[in-house]
Structure 1
Amino acid sequence: MKIAVDAMGGDHAPQEIIIGVEQARDLYPDVEFYLYGMEDQIRPLVKNQDRLTIIPTTETIDMGEEPVRAIRRKKDSSIVRAANAVKAGEADAFFSAGNTGAVLAAGLFIVGRIKGIDRPGLTSVLPVADPKTDQQNFVYLDTGANAESKEKNLVQFAYLGKFYAQKVLKVAQPRVALLNNGTEEDKGDKLHKAVYQLLNDDPEIDFVGNVESSELLNGRADVVVTDGWGGNAALKATEGTAKTMLSLIKNGILNGGLRAKLGYLLMKPVFGQIGKIMGTSNYGGAVMLGLKAPVVKTHGSSKADAVKNTIGQIREMLSSKVIDETVIHFSAIDQAEDVDNSSKNS
């Protein structure tokens, strides 16, 4: 397996990217890496060149740059070169911690959509925080690739999430839910009411109804489908609440005197368990599902551990052939639609 890596993307690049890649290289003997970026910055950081190839580039795309303009103008940037390697078949997947918009644009315009998919969905694997269930995580999409979505898009997201849950997370029969502002069937706007009916009537989808954002991490489903605007807003609200609570707890301990500090020492193992469950670095990166090859983006602040785990996620995507499953499904639908349209025109 060959992975094209944007070595210059992220707040801690290229150092943490290289460290994480080398950790993954040592862990997975069946994976090779192509490191795209400034050679004078990358080469001194590489400790062992086994299965690592440095591809020199002369440009980088910064976090604040306009995505589409950047990938069109900076042809020799690490993001564009890595994406082109996947398009040309020189690599099997593309990984970056850089400019999110540029990574998504490169995936869409360079790697390309699977035929039959209107809009790829940005997909995250989120933790389940309910101690009453053995479920550890769930698939959540779209988290922001599409500001506006149609009914067809959300139904396609359901299938994309289903295949990912089956192949990568090893869930035999994924339960699919729709993020909405209430659990009742008649809740939501026109779009969500229509999508509810479409998913509920689809015999290939195990639809379990609506889920509210307050129940998002409670394990109601293995796949939660949402439009990009609402999905991104709910995700950021959840992340922000978690950070705020941690900050309040930390300040309470620091300012609570000796009793609070002793209490923290007694509770330290519990805090460690919570951190392990909720830590974003444990679940890999966000995947642009619906493209012809894995395009995976980690958070800009990711360090080596998150990079290593994301490489493991990409490896599982490649070995499980989840993209092949997606291509087969949507190609069959596309062919059926072509036949139907042809018969109508004749």
Structure 2
Amino acid sequence: MSLTIALDGMGGDAAPGIVVDGAAQALERHDDLRFILFGDEARLQPLLAARPQLAARCTLRHTPDFVAGDAKPSLALRQGRNTSMRLAINAVKDGEAAAAVSAGNTGALMAMAKFVLKTLPGVDRPAITSVMPARRHPIVVLDLGANVDCGPEHLFQFAVMGEVFARVMLGVEKPRVGLLNVGTEELKGDDVVRGAATMLRGSDLPIDFHGFVEGTDVTEGVVDVVVTDGFTGNVALKMAEGTAAMFTAALKEAFEVGGLRAKLGYLLARPVFQALKDKFDPRRYNGAMFLGLNGVVVKSHGGTDALGFSAAIATAADLVRKGTNERIIEEMGGTKPAAPVPDAQAAAS
């Protein structure tokens, strides 16, 4: 049975080229996929014509409208009903597609997706969720930017959803969940973080709550799921991306200026460097899900290439096949969290 994915053909820094190329690469690895491609027919049709195998598995829906990268989410929501992004989301709601993928404006995509699809039962806010590399093993991190201000109940919900995500997507039998904090001691952090910890410890959900984790614990892979608010999560993500880029550039520069010995050393160690590059290649982890929506929507990095976009498509397909949303509904409906501590409730109000 085929699986249909709706694609925002005009979203992303290098769209529509990377969208079409990414879909073609995804089809090579997953031959059961079909696509509904939304965007400017005059720009998309020639790209499809050059890829007959993809064209045979793709339905093109013309719209000249698209969401600009710098558009305000509220404005895009009001005026973007006929954009490629909105129509891709509508296809999920209408049952034409099992999931939608876009590399476009993150804020606009979240606003539209939440408005059109709503949230799952028991979930107040969706969270941007992704898999990131760590020293010991890949980890799940959420929220990566959807919710700047959170209450303890929101972090609790993120923890439940992230735990399910780790089990379903990473195959971790008993994921360890940690709350990102400024220290591991129980008295560290603000009322929101400590309140969420109280709720997780007192919940009847069989969740393996590790407690608080610091930034170094994240990269070490001390836990399988790292939970935080969208402000902190987004800063941590951008810092990690920047550090990786800086390290790569510094290493390349060192070999270039190191003379003949450095070049010979690089040739000898090239397989090791390639393995390291592959492990931390951000394109392998591209594709952040808006976890908690009543439908599957995956956000690709706006600056990715075709390989990265194909990874986002693969993530969307995997989320559907493994019934991630259905598993979250089961978990959220089967437990009631303990009440947060009073001062945390006051801080969240």
By the TM > 0.5 criterion, same fold?
yes
Q: Is the 8 A contact 1:129 1:277 kept in 2?
A: no
Q: Does 1:108 pair with 2:114? A: yes
- Show the 5 A alignment for 1:1-346: 1-46=3-48, 47-48=51-52, 49-130=55-136, 135=137, 137-203=138-204, 204-331=206-333
Task: Tell me the distance in 2 between the aligned counterparts of 1:235 and 1:20.
Answer: 23
Task: Tell me the distance in 1 between the aligned counterparts of 2:130 and 2:29.
Answer: 23
**Percent identity over paired residues:** 40
One-letter code aligned to 1:75: R
Deviations 1:11-69, CA, capped at 9 Å, x for gaps: 12111110110221232232211000001111111112222111111201111111221
One-letter code aligned to 1:160: M
Deviations 1:52-88, CA, capped at 9 Å, x for gaps: 1111112011111112211321221100111111111
Q: Secondary structure at the match of 2:132?
A: strand
RMSD: 1.7
Task: Tell me the distance in 2 between the aligned counterparts of 1:200 and 1:232.
Answer: 26
Deviation at 1:333, TM superposition (A): 5.7
Deviations 1:202-244, CA, capped at 9 Å, x for gaps: 3421011211112212111111111111111122122212221
Give aligned pairs, total.
Answer: 330
Per the normalisation by structure 1, the TM-score is: 0.91
Task: Tell me the distance in 1 between the aligned counterparts of 2:192 and 2:46.
Answer: 53
Q: Secondary structure at the match of 1:287?
A: strand
Q: Is the 8 A contact 1:36 1:55 kept in 2?
A: yes
Deviation at 1:179, TM superposition (A): 0.7
Deviation at 1:268, TM superposition (A): 1.7
Q: Secondary structure at the match of 2:301?
A: coil
One-letter code aligned to 1:256: G
One-letter code aligned to 1:110: V
Partner of 2:341: none
Q: Is the 8 A contact 2:160 2:332 kept in 1?
A: no
Q: Which moved more, 1:275-284 or 1:289-298?
A: 275-284
Q: Is the 8 A contact 1:120 1:291 kept in 2?
A: yes
One-letter code aligned to 1:167: V
Structure 2 residue ranges without an equivalent (≥5): 337-349
Q: Is the 8 A contact 1:111 1:291 kept in 2?
A: yes
Deviation at 1:332, TM superposition (A): 5.2
Task: Tell me the distance in 1 between the aligned counterparts of 2:109 and 2:323.
Answer: 22
Q: Is the 8 A contact 1:116 1:333 kept in 2?
A: no
Task: Tell me the distance in 1 between the aligned counterparts of 2:325 and 2:91.
Answer: 17
One-letter code aligned to 1:112: K
